[in-house]
Structure 1
């Protein structure tokens, strides 16, 4: 009896132990799968609920950049050593030139976020013996968005307004001369070789200013983003709290004659914006490039006409003549009760066209689109007249010179 028990007990124990290990392994695998599933779902939920503030971190419209051109390669001092040429003479080659720093406007770049703080171009290769010259270094190209303004010590160097515009901001140094360069009748065996020159160095300020025909200007939560969504395909964030928009959005209005007009949603300004309060100068600069402005007024406030006065004051203090550009007032939120009386008072207090709309419901939004086209056509006609006058003056000067 004891022998039978002693024979079966180890086998049963081992069988139970194997079953337990298999169950534990499957349990561990299921726990791992569940943990990975929870982590992926949490990450997707977090990414989908990212706020506009976190998304706007990638948008940078100002950078201070230190640039330095590459150093030129040194010249070589060497002599030719070949069979049958005991007096081969000097054979040191010149050094290669250093690379330049080039800033180029690219329409595919939308922000200055990827622009580094320090750029240094490649150095030129030194010269070698047997009259071998050094290789010129390749240039370093910094892609920036269209509409980037380059400043040095507060002064504008250049304005990159079109796609493909480029400027060399730091030239590379010239390569040094080898002793072959100094060969003359007076000195048949020169040993002089010069070092390469250092590249130019400077500190620049890059400012991005949104290029658009129309600028939507207004206080926070006035309905600018809702209006831009109603008149174009742009999708800025819309919410019931102020400062929802933290970066400029540009939408395109397409007309039946295939004409396209760009409209920029400038983030909300507040009183004292010219003193850099709120978003301040960070986004006031985006209004400088707009040909005409639309003041979006919130009719739900007690005295909506004060918003227009405050906005025009802030623009004029920031830059003289900015408030005198062609403009109109868009009276938003007409769907709210009690706005008809405020609309009448607004039309009495302001000296500009007033367009009553409800951007949320899309009511009378077509009037805004038509008025934008009128302002656009008027501006294009003025530009054409100025261009024609300039051509006439240049033609007169050419005729006088020929005479």
Structure 2
């Protein structure tokens, strides 16, 4: 049925935008004789049909504003994991804030020494220089996900002292501390941002090691042929810093407690967040990875629940929202089984605005969850009507059931479309 519909559209030389084409194929899928349900229904037939439709010479992506450059969408399909999740429960503490004292290693002292040879008993000063102390260096690593392994105090290694016969002391090795990508380094006293470690391999010199002292050979001159003086090694730099983690995820799930965010994350990825029937189950953000058939991997973050007046430190507050400041897009997860789901949505928008104004202007979509409950269709129609009354009809509303995996494909396809548009706009902005 799907291939017949796509072939008919191709013969008609029809041109649609990307969202329309996908909606047509997904609608045909829902009404096909063979029943399928959301994310579990991805087959080669759907992928081939979408690719045939999108790659045709008669197909073109069109935007409402013809004067803007057109974003080329990838038409990639999400991959369904066929491997069972591990039953082993890993208890790992997620730490996103750490106060650290760092002190560079002191340099080695110079040597006071005079050389005495068999043929020249007074050969002159021969004290070597001391080695430099080791630095403390923070390094962003993509394999580190939390600050739980970062200690509260680091001291650099000491440089070796100089020796006789003009032998200089060895420089100390630098101490590298691996931190997660997305870590902000701030001065503990002024609060000034000193480093943003937003990419793998980025390094920040937190504390310099002290320079090694000069031996008495350095002070040899025509006026002083027998210097009895040497330098002491310099002390290492000492600082107190604050490490603050801002996770780098492509999308963030924002919603009330028990809205089904953790269930949704576990349904679309291999992440295993804690899922329970009581409020505030999620106390720390969780991240899952979504795989697409073109090899792209996108991260989606599950935030702890927000409640009304969270910006006044009610509930868990809004401090954890710093983790979604780097997100490409935001998804409002609304519980359709609640008494007033639209009021939930308005509270979420208000809390994000209270935290930062630009968060509410990010590309967003509304995920209406728990569509499997009784009376969900009527509440969804009322929710859509209230959006239109508030002039928010441009927002994409995706009705799903995370528990039973219904309509998750539409969500993941739209997520990839938002990411493709973001990447296209960023590319043209950098030109």
Structure whose alpha-carbon radius of gyration is higher:
1
Give the corresponding residue for 2:399.
356
Q: Distance in 2 between matches of 1:278 and 1:182?
A: 67
Q: Distance in 1 between matches of 2:138 and 2:95?
A: 17
**Residue in structure 1 matching 2:94, options 55, 59, 73:** 59
Q: After TM superposition, what 4+ stretches of structure 1 lie above 3 angstroms from structure 2?
A: none
**Residue in structure 1 matching 2:193, options 146, 149, 156:** 156
Q: In terms of mean alpha carbon deviation, does 362-371 or 252-261 score higher?
A: 252-261
Give the corresponding residue for 1:262.
299
Q: Which has the higher contact order (CA 8 A, sep 6+)?
A: 2
Q: Distance in 1 between matches of 2:106 and 2:300?
A: 45
The number of equivalent residue pairs is 337
SS at match of 1:144: strand
- 1:94 and 2:129 aligned: yes
- 1:196 and 2:233 aligned: yes
SS at match of 2:360: coil
Give the corresponding residue for 1:10.
none
- 1:362 Cα deviation after fit: 1.1
Give the corresponding residue for 2:36.
none
- 1:280 Cα deviation after fit: 2.5
Q: Distance in 1 between matches of 2:322 and 2:130?
A: 45
Listed one character per residue, the Cα deviations across residues 283-342 of structure 1 (whole Å, up to 9, x for unaligned) are 211111111100000011111111122112111211231111110100111111122222
Between structures 1 and 2, the one with greater helix share: 1
Give the corresponding residue for 2:261.
224
Give the corresponding residue for 2:213.
176
Listed one character per residue, the Cα deviations across residues 112-155 of structure 1 (whole Å, up to 9, x for unaligned) are 11111111111111112211111111111111112211111322
1:164-313 superposed matches below 5 A:
164-313=201-350
- 1:386 and 2:386 aligned: no
Q: TM-score, normalised by structure 1?
A: 0.80
SS at match of 1:181: helix
Q: Distance in 2 between matches of 1:222 and 1:358?
A: 11
1:312-323 superposed matches below 5 A:
312-323=349-360
**Residue in structure 2 matching 1:343, options 380, 389, 393:** 380
- 1:137 and 2:172 aligned: yes
Contact 2:306–2:318 at 8 Å: present in 1 too? no
Give the corresponding residue for 2:156.
121
Q: Distance in 1 between matches of 2:183 and 2:344?
A: 30
Q: Distance in 2 between matches of 1:84 and 1:141?
A: 49
- 1:281 Cα deviation after fit: 4.3
Q: Distance in 2 between matches of 1:292 and 1:217?
A: 11
Q: How much is the aligned-residue C-alpha RMSD, in angstroms?
A: 1.8
Q: Distance in 2 between matches of 1:282 and 1:90?
A: 62
Q: Distance in 2 between matches of 1:69 and 1:255?
A: 45
Q: Distance in 1 between matches of 2:319 and 2:167?
A: 52
- 1:374 and 2:411 aligned: no
Q: Distance in 2 between matches of 1:258 and 1:120?
A: 42
